[in-house]
Amino acid sequence: MSLSTEQVGHLARLARLALTDAGIEATRAKLDDIFGLIEQMQAVDTKGVEPMSHPQELATRLRADAVTEADRRDAFQRIAPQTEAGLYLVPKVIE
């Protein structure tokens, strides 16, 4: 399999990674190698095999609908890039 420059650019946009043209080109060759490795999977007939998502087949646990966490907003916002009045600041999204 070989990815085109456009495909890698599209993936980078989906993944929210601002890659330069040179970065996309450098990445493309390495991704081709990786997909070459991954393609080996396709040679195996897995018809009827149940997909395995986890080693232990766990059911999601239920818990009481109760408040268990203390309010630590100040501690969590101290490490944020930009906050104001208890809110996280990001560029304006609604004109």
* Residue 22 binds another protein (CB under 8 A): no
Distance CA 2, CA 28 (A): 8
12 is a site residue for another protein (CB under 8 A): yes
Task: Looking at residues 58 to 87 of the shown chain, list those that interact with another protein (rule: CB under 8 A).
Answer: 58, 60-61, 63, 72, 75-76, 78-82
Detail the DSSP E strand segments found in 1-95.
83-84, 87-88
Binding to another protein by CB under 8 A, coded x per residue (else -) over 24-53, reads ---x--xx-xxxxxxxxxx-x-x--xxxxx
Given the complex with another protein, which of 53 and 84 has the nearer CB atom? 53
Residue 38 to residues 7, 50, 81: CA-CA distances in angstroms?
17, 20, 38
